[in-house]
Amino acid sequence: MSGIFHQLLQEVGATKPQQTAVPPRLFPIKNRVSLIGTVGAGKSTVVGGVVMTAETLVADDPNFFCRVIEGTSEIHEDVSKLRDGHFPTKTVPFGAFASEAGLLMEWEKRVGLGPISAKVGTKMLQLPICDVSGEDLSYMIRQVRAVGPLGNIAKQAVRNLIAYVRESDGFIITIKATRAKGLFQKGKQLELEQDEKLSADPDVNLVRLLEDLMNYKQTHRSRPIKGVAVVITAWDRLKSEAERIGFDILNPMVGQSDLHNFVKACFPAVYAAIKSLRIPNVAYFPSFFETETNEDNTEKPWPDGTPQIKQRRTDVGNPDEWWRDLRKISYSERSYVDLIEWLKQFAYTV
């Protein structure tokens, strides 16, 4: 075996397939999904969006239940800040790997109505959240020999990351729309990759990561990939290009074919890898969190310089609906509902 994973395994002293840094008992539920993306791609915000949307579904759907298994993570705090209009703080590189954190979602199936209804089955899904910083993933993209020996903390982070990936059945890939090449004149990108040691083209970085993840799983004969969700973050920032792209960027019902064509055109290597690796059940989800703007259309910042997320307007005069938008922000909620529905396929019946 060759590639980034092989070098990392040799570096941390974990080349045997049966070695794992994460005890299997921490993951009693059958299916797991890894969230991957480079530095600043919005992974923590996506996690916050999933949790926040799940909480809304619990309030709206009498047959849906969701527990947040926080572990050593800061999921509750991140979602609280998100509700208050603050983007989650950046994940600390080589920090504690909260492998036990995640969501435990349940969908009850009932027959009958009201008090005479009866439960006839339950689908359950534990979704452990891979709380790994973009820098940790960058170590996988860059060759270990190029960055020198890893320290003990970094070695443990790599072991945990490898153990997590080894047991994953699916992946959520975060692609930041503002880093796409080809959409803007003269090859301009609205935003560059934050890690200067990576390629300037996010397509190159993501395909290197994806190829090595898949090669590792195939080499170790790990469980097959059941699906990949591609979440395109900062999607609303492309609205100036909507006419040239040919579809309404902010339409909440934007079609899979439009999103598919966006990835095919702007991230051709990632698309080719997903198709050529025969990955089944690939779906695309646009994600955005609307920010407050000044009169000149620039983003309105908080005192710390980070953008303010726009709050929803609450109809306090309506006794039946005043609570619905309280502590809610303006974001692509429909996409996150669809993402949770996509994740439901990984659930099993109890």
309 in a structural domain: no
Contact of 88 with 82, CB cutoff 8 Å = yes
What is the DSSP-derived secondary structure letter of residue 301?
Answer: B
Burial of 119 (0-12, 13-18, 19+ CB in 10 A): exposed
Instruction: Provide the residue type at 107 as one letter.
Output: W
The pLDDT of residue 95 is above 80: no
CA 118 to chain centre: 35
Residue of 317 and 178 predicted with greater confidence:
178
128 in a structural domain: yes
Instruction: Output the pLDDT for position 25.
Output: 44
Count: domains in the chain: 1
Instruction: Output the pLDDT for position 318.
Output: 74
93 in a structural domain: yes
Instruction: Output the pLDDT for position 301.
Output: 93
Tell me which residue has tokens 């949770």. 340
Tokens standing for residue 281? 């059940």
Q: What is the pLDDT of residues 250-274, one digit of tens each?
A: 777 788 888 888 899 889 999 998 8
- Provide, rounded to the nearest whole percent, the portion of the chain with pLDDT above 90: 26
Contact of 252 with 332, CB cutoff 8 Å = yes
Q: DSSP labels for 118-150? A: EEEEEEEEEEE-----HHHHHHHHS-HHHH---
| pLDDT winner (highest mean) among 23-37, 138-152, 270-284 | 270-284
**Stretch 297-314: mean pLDDT, rounded?**
91
What domain range includes position 99? 4-15+28-111+118-289+331-349
341 in a structural domain: yes
Q: At what angle do helices 202-219 and 4-12 cross, to 10 degrees?
A: 70
C-alpha–C-alpha distance, residues 228 and 209, integer Å: 14
Q: What is the pLDDT of residues 187-202, one digit of tens each?
A: 677 887 777 777 788 8
Contact of 10 with 4, CB cutoff 8 Å = no
Instruction: Output the pLDDT for position 310.
Output: 95
Instruction: Output the pLDDT for position 93.
Output: 53
Q: What is the pLDDT of residues 96-133, one digit of tens each?
A: 443 445 788 999 988 877 667 788 889 988 777 665 55
Instruction: Output the pLDDT for position 21.
Output: 35
Which range among 150-159, 207-216, 233-242, 278-287 shows the weakest confidence by mean pLDDT? 150-159
Instruction: Output the pLDDT for position 141.
Output: 53
Instruction: Output the pLDDT for position 156.
Output: 62
| pLDDT winner (highest mean) among 37-46, 87-96, 154-163, 229-238 | 229-238
Please provide the average confidence, as pLDDT, over all residues in the chain.
Answer: 77
9 in a structural domain: yes
Q: What is the pLDDT of residues 31-61, one digit of tens each?
A: 677 777 777 788 889 989 999 999 999 999 9
Nearest-5° Cα angle at 30, 25 to 35: 95
Instruction: Output the pLDDT for position 22.
Output: 38
Instruction: Output the pLDDT for position 324.
Output: 80
178 in a structural domain: yes
Q: What is the pLDDT of residues 61-74, one digit of tens each?
A: 999 999 988 766 77
C-alpha–C-alpha distance, residues 140 and 148, integer Å: 13
What is the DSSP-derived secondary structure letter of residue 99?
Answer: T
Which range among 20-24, 83-87, 231-235 shows the weakest confidence by mean pLDDT? 20-24
For residue 214, the domain's CATH number is 3.40.50.300
Which range among 207-211, 256-260, 308-312 shows the weakest confidence by mean pLDDT? 207-211
Backbone angles phi, psi at 81, to 5 degrees: -65, -40
319 in a structural domain: no
Backbone angles phi, psi at 318, to 5 degrees: -100, 110
303 in a structural domain: no
